[in-house]
Structure 1
Amino acid sequence: MIKRMIIIALVWGSLLSYDVLAQLPPVFGEKYEELTQDDPRVRKYISPLRIVWQSDESGKTIENAAKLLKPGNGQAELINNDLCILRSTDTEKPGILLDFGKELHGGLQLVTGMMASKDPVKVRIRFGESVSEAMSDIDTINGATNDHAMRDFIVELPWLGSLQVGNSGFRFVRIDLVDPNVELLLKEARAVFIYRDVPYLGSFKSNDERLNQIWETGAYTVHLNMQQYLWDGIKRDRLVWVGDLHPEVMTVNAVFGYNEVVPKSLDLIRDATPLPQWMNGISSYSLWWIIIHRDWYNYHGDLEYLKEQEEYLKGLLSLLLTKIDGNKEALDGMRFLDWPSSENEKAIHAGLQALMVMALDAGAELSQVLGENTTAGQCEDAVARLRKHVPDHGDSKQAAAMLTLAGMMDGKKANKQVIAVGGAENFSTFYGYYMLHAKAVAGDYQGALDNIREYWGGMLDLGATTFWEDFDLSWLENAAPIDEIVPEGKTDVHAAYGNYSYKQLRHSLCHGWASGPTSWLTRHVLGVSVVEPGSKVIRIEPHLADLEWVEGTFPTPYGAVKIKHTKKADGSIATEVDAPDEVKVLK
């Protein structure tokens, strides 16, 4: 019996809350401690908000579907009143599509009644980030897959009981009867929402509700990806991609402050990548690991944690110093910035040249903190050499942005000649974050706000509740929203687009690397930058552009800093700040 209980605990560990696993009954004993793992997440049950579609409106094969919209309690009952009934025939197998209102991570709980037959009833479950995905079949036509997470499968439901299934990212769920001539009495179909129950310590509000919604959507996108580790996507790419992690970590800094998911993820990829291997097989991703550690230390000032990285950091920096040919980067492994720039060799070289400068600069900073002055000096010498070679940006917004941020290209020139051309055309969800920062270097805050409204706002216009793995403004033309059945003559935006590893319905609609505007708005509009490690000294320098007012909070290890900026009649800005005593504020 005990052995069976242990197996159940291990199998369902991802669905158990931290409190349950942290308090094993005494019968388990100390010898079972090594077999258990605490789960930092919680789960909540959410009833659907609406029925998007049902195969039968006549009442012949589906009755009382609206019952599923009522709040449930997860308990089967010896009362068969007021249940949703699905009946199949020789020719009809009913199905129903539920909408839970916004993107969630987790699964589905189904509670049944007393069917006439006690035999289990087979149902097909399909999770979808869009209506189209939930209505799709796994095939080679529209790209729907079960990669990383099972989102299309058949299960058996018990007589007068309940079952919890699924572990994916979704907003919509379709339920179909599989066999002919069976009846299913369904009391409840609730989402099992699994997430970290952490407060939003950072905030952003302005007189522009569109920007407010974008900030919140970016925050929520990363929140959903803060699972056992910090993932890139909750449906697909449920992995620690350390390059993609950088904009996600900056969102964590701006919204949640310190959270153990970041060091846990950084350590996971470090331990999985013995030198001289590159993290995730991509040389630039090892560079991002260094930059993330510099930023994490600056925000949180955890010197003890930084010391834990000393040996690996020193070895990685030594490796990078061997990947310079004269004054040019000579990185091997997969040479990658982001997917839209992956076929532009000039852009890749320019971006990697800039990224080497940024990473070695960060490495020198961290080495000085750790007392590794020799390594710091070697990094500084290498940076001086690398700065003498400024590659052609290949007319790439990604490359121009990185050259700007590395201080190797004039920001105003880069913005005028490359980044601002066509507005948000050729932006990418990942490197768009760095394009926005490069525009800030150029002083083009108005242009950046316009880009955010147009590009990230474009996803909201299509019904997004989280930001996507990829997006292009051209997708807006004649597109149907993702939260409705695609009308004839309209484009199915989820099934029609995508490229590289995210074609069509395989495309993730909740990708943490797309959250860039959240931390950007905190940094440049609310105006908060960290001056000394641990946020002991911060500078507040707002750039409101066309906004009339903005207010928000910024998390520090000592508590939140409250900030409000109001534009006066003469164009000047009145600022109010309330900071913890331990935080010095520069204006």
Structure 2
Amino acid sequence: MSFKFQINTDIKFNRNKYLLAKADKYKPEIIHKTVFPKELVKLIKDKSQLDDVGIKKSNSIEQLTTMSFAKDDSFILDMGRHCVGKFQIHIEHVGSPMDAPLTLKIRFAEMPNEFKYNSDDYNGWLSKSWMQEELIHIDTLPVDLQLSRRYSFRYVEITVVDTSPKWSVQFSRPTVIAQSSVDKLKAIRPNFDDKELEQIYQVGLNTLHECMQDVFEDGPKRDRRLWLGDLRLQALANYTSFDNTNLVKRCLYLFAAMTAKDGRISANVFTNNEYIPDDTFMYDYGLFFISTLDDLLKHEFSQEILDDLYPIAKKQWEYDQKFITSEGKVILDEDYITFVDWSQDFDKTTSAQAITIYTLKQLINLAGLAKDSEKIRYQKQLEKLESYAKNKLFDKDKGFFISGPKKEINLASQAWMVLAHVLNDKENHLLMKKSKKELFPIKGIATPYMYHHVDQALFEAGLKDDAIKLMKEYWGKMISLGADTYWEAFEPEQPNFSPYGNAMVNSFCHAWSCTPVWLLHEYLN
């Protein structure tokens, strides 16, 4: 795996105040709920869990107030559920007068295995500052310690780094003020006869709930940003569960308000203090603005949103013309990457061709809604793109789409071509049936993001039983490894895989993995 940071300091951005005001119009009220820990736990060796690390109850939470802690003592709180919020706890000293400060180390973890690692040993290429830990000095006790930072976690480890030999400390009233822009109790829930699918759905719902904050975040632990690829999938899952269309509108307006001067839409935007577009651009993510807009208007039509945002979608498409030849071939540019998946183990050329076709069909629908005469030109270009895919990229002898100069056959190419409906329904069925036979078990795909597209392709091709089986094997496997929210990256063949060179910064609650919520509603309900 490899990745190169994009640093484009010479890019000039628009800042459309009208569109930004629209984004703020849809700013959500954050719902806060108080969560109390369920019990004290300890780490145990458990080969059935991620990294062979499990948990076991050590004490009831009521016993915490009776326990004293001195230098090097520690305990772990289990909140009983994943939380996104701020932690607080009451601390008192016991014994002689307090003749030295109290030093604490507090670590937060979404999964127990995170406590296995020491941040001093971190050597990944993402910033070490994402580590969820605090070193705190307290001069005077008693105190109600309230941490100012928001964390994403289920478990809290508190270690007494030092007191003095004369006194110790006691802890009480640990709580989390958890937050989200939606109420999980109000979610739409389908009925399942299959208990395993019901659990898979619930964990997906947990994941989506935690990532719905001021915007649709990609991950509340890291990066806490609005990414276009994640947004497209989150929005679909949201329509069938929380149905908070205002949050989708807010996110689309943020992307639209801060495009590059040349029409490109940033792959992500920062929203913490002020709105800032990132100088990172991706071919497929830019096109997914078109997709997300079309999905929204199919779910809930608004002439105002069409009028405001269709011109932005159109400009993105026009920028991408430099990567499409006159015969309908999509050419990749290493400086304008096509993401598809974190894995760099497969060629992405044909996936890019299919994504272009997929999103152009949606642009044509938008053009029809907008009564744009350019629809005719778009339809002619679509014919060329599809013709190239069928005549140049589909190997009739092998029965697969090929990709790149080495004519590689990979699963991503087949899945995306099925989703783009380049072939007819019968041909799609045969393609995914052949893919299931020859390209499974899946290898070299690193994220639930790409697994979603494979699973959806199975459903689209009429292979419902195979799609359910894959969902149980993949998302169900995360649950069996201890997940109560789904992860950013997961390769079943190496469960602790990290795209960042070190699993310490992996996100175990990540937006693009929530899609069983949509898949189960769309294809089984």
Q: 1:144 to 1:48 in 2, by over 3 A?
A: farther
Amino acid at match of 1:48: P
Aligned equivalent of 1:579: none
Q: Structure 2: how far apart are the matches of 1:413 and 1:271?
A: 43
Q: Structure 1: how far apart are the matches of 2:313 and 2:63?
A: 54
Aligned equivalent of 1:328: 329
Report the structure number with the largest CA radius of gyration. Answer: 1
Aligned equivalent of 1:4: none
SS in structure 1 opposite 2:162?
coil
Q: Structure 1: how far apart are the matches of 2:125 and 2:380?
A: 50
Per-residue displacement from partner, 1:531-563 (whole Å, max 9, x unpaired)? xxxxxxxxxxxxxxxxxxxxxxxxxxxxxxxxx
Aligned equivalent of 1:265: 251
In the alignment, is residue 339 of structure 1 matched against residue 341 of structure 2?
yes
Q: Structure 2: how far apart are the matches of 1:229 and 1:117?
A: 48
Aligned equivalent of 2:108: 127
Structure 1 position 114, deviation (Å) = 5.4
More moved, 183-192 vs 166-175? 183-192
Aligned equivalent of 2:458: 439
State whether residues 433 and 516 of structure 1, in contact with CA within 8 Å, keep that contact through their aligned partners in structure 2: yes
State whether residues 114 and 185 of structure 1, in contact with CA within 8 Å, keep that contact through their aligned partners in structure 2: yes
State whether residues 249 and 262 of structure 1, in contact with CA within 8 Å, keep that contact through their aligned partners in structure 2: yes
Report 1:151-162 matches (<5 A).
151-157=132-138, 158-162=140-144
Q: 1:466 to 1:421 in 2, by over 3 A?
A: farther
Aligned equivalent of 1:458: 477
In the alignment, is residue 163 of structure 1 matched against residue 145 of structure 2?
yes
Aligned equivalent of 1:46: 35
Aligned equivalent of 1:360: 360
In the alignment, is residue 178 of structure 1 matched against residue 161 of structure 2?
yes
Aligned equivalent of 2:212: 226
Q: 1:310 to 1:70 in 2, by over 3 A?
A: farther
Aligned equivalent of 1:279: 266
Aligned equivalent of 1:416: 433
State whether residues 111 and 160 of structure 1, in contact with CA within 8 Å, keep that contact through their aligned partners in structure 2: yes
Q: Structure 2: how far apart are the matches of 1:234 and 1:147?
A: 16
Amino acid at match of 1:462: L
Unaligned runs of 5+ in 1: 1-36, 56-64, 72-81, 476-492, 527-587
More moved, 159-168 vs 332-341? 332-341
State whether residues 122 and 502 of structure 2, in contact with CA within 8 Å, keep that contact through their aligned partners in structure 1: no
Structure 1 position 54, deviation (Å) = 8.7
Aligned equivalent of 1:372: 372
Amino acid at match of 1:138: S
SS in structure 2 opposite 1:355?
helix
Q: Structure 2: how far apart are the matches of 1:278 and 1:263?
A: 16
SS in structure 1 opposite 2:229?
coil
Per-residue displacement from partner, 1:106-155 (whole Å, max 9, x unpaired)? 23111123555456522111011122213432134586987574511212
State whether residues 402 and 434 of structure 1, in contact with CA within 8 Å, keep that contact through their aligned partners in structure 2: yes
Q: 1:100 to 1:168 in 2, by over 3 A?
A: same
Q: Structure 2: how far apart are the matches of 1:38 and 1:359?
A: 27
Unaligned runs of 5+ in 2: 1-25, 45-57, 268-280, 394-401
Q: 1:472 to 1:144 in 2, by over 3 A?
A: same
Q: Structure 2: how far apart are the matches of 1:437 and 1:54?
A: 37
Under a length normalisation based on structure 2, what TM-score does the superposition of the two structures give?
Answer: 0.78
State whether residues 294 and 366 of structure 1, in contact with CA within 8 Å, keep that contact through their aligned partners in structure 2: yes
State whether residues 131 and 504 of structure 2, in contact with CA within 8 Å, keep that contact through their aligned partners in structure 1: no
State whether residues 332 and 338 of structure 2, in contact with CA within 8 Å, keep that contact through their aligned partners in structure 1: no
Structure 1 position 411, deviation (Å) = 1.2
Aligned equivalent of 2:523: 524
Q: Structure 1: how far apart are the matches of 2:502 and 2:312?
A: 36
State whether residues 448 and 489 of structure 2, in contact with CA within 8 Å, keep that contact through their aligned partners in structure 1: yes
Q: Structure 2: how far apart are the matches of 1:117 and 1:509?
A: 43
Q: 1:461 to 1:187 in 2, by over 3 A?
A: same
State whether residues 123 and 156 of structure 1, in contact with CA within 8 Å, keep that contact through their aligned partners in structure 2: yes
Structure 1 position 388, deviation (Å) = 1.1
Aligned equivalent of 2:78: 99
SS in structure 2 opposite 1:320?
helix
In the alignment, is residue 448 of structure 1 matched against residue 467 of structure 2?
yes
Aligned equivalent of 2:193: 207
Match of 1:401 among 415, 422, 436: 415
State whether residues 411 and 439 of structure 1, in contact with CA within 8 Å, keep that contact through their aligned partners in structure 2: no
SS in structure 2 opposite 1:362?
helix
Structure 1 position 175, deviation (Å) = 0.3
Q: 1:424 to 1:210 in 2, by over 3 A?
A: farther
Amino acid at match of 2:110: E
Q: 1:416 to 1:39 in 2, by over 3 A?
A: closer
Aligned equivalent of 1:188: 173
Amino acid at match of 1:51: L
State whether residues 125 and 173 of structure 1, in contact with CA within 8 Å, keep that contact through their aligned partners in structure 2: yes
Q: Structure 2: how far apart are the matches of 1:112 and 1:384?
A: 69
Aligned pairs, number: 444
SS in structure 2 opposite 1:310?
helix
State whether residues 425 and 473 of structure 1, in contact with CA within 8 Å, keep that contact through their aligned partners in structure 2: no
User: Sequence identity, in percent?
Assistant: 21
Structure 1 position 512, deviation (Å) = 1.1
Amino acid at match of 1:44: K
SS in structure 2 opposite 1:387?
helix
State whether residues 341 and 449 of structure 2, in contact with CA within 8 Å, keep that contact through their aligned partners in structure 1: no
Structure 1 position 506, deviation (Å) = 1.6
Under a length normalisation based on structure 1, what TM-score does the superposition of the two structures give?
Answer: 0.70
Q: Structure 2: how far apart are the matches of 1:399 and 1:161?
A: 58
Structure 1 position 405, deviation (Å) = 1.3
Structure 1 position 94, deviation (Å) = 0.7
State whether residues 47 and 68 of structure 1, in contact with CA within 8 Å, keep that contact through their aligned partners in structure 2: no
SS in structure 2 opposite 1:414?
helix
Structure 1 position 265, deviation (Å) = 1.8
Q: Structure 2: how far apart are the matches of 1:100 and 1:113?
A: 22
Per-residue displacement from partner, 1:49-78 (whole Å, max 9, x unpaired)? 2222299xxxxxxxxx9574479xxxxxxx
Which structure exhibits the higher relative contact order, with contacts defined as CA atoms closer than 8 Å and separated by 6 or more residues? 2
SS in structure 1 opposite 2:422?
coil
Per-residue displacement from partner, 1:241-273 (whole Å, max 9, x unpaired)? 101222211111111113322222222233333
Q: Structure 2: how far apart are the matches of 1:353 and 1:378?
A: 18
SS in structure 1 opposite 2:418?
helix
Q: Structure 2: how far apart are the matches of 1:502 and 1:206?
A: 39
Q: 1:360 to 1:132 in 2, by over 3 A?
A: same
Structure 1 position 304, deviation (Å) = 1.4
Q: 1:50 to 1:502 in 2, by over 3 A?
A: farther
Amino acid at match of 1:268: L
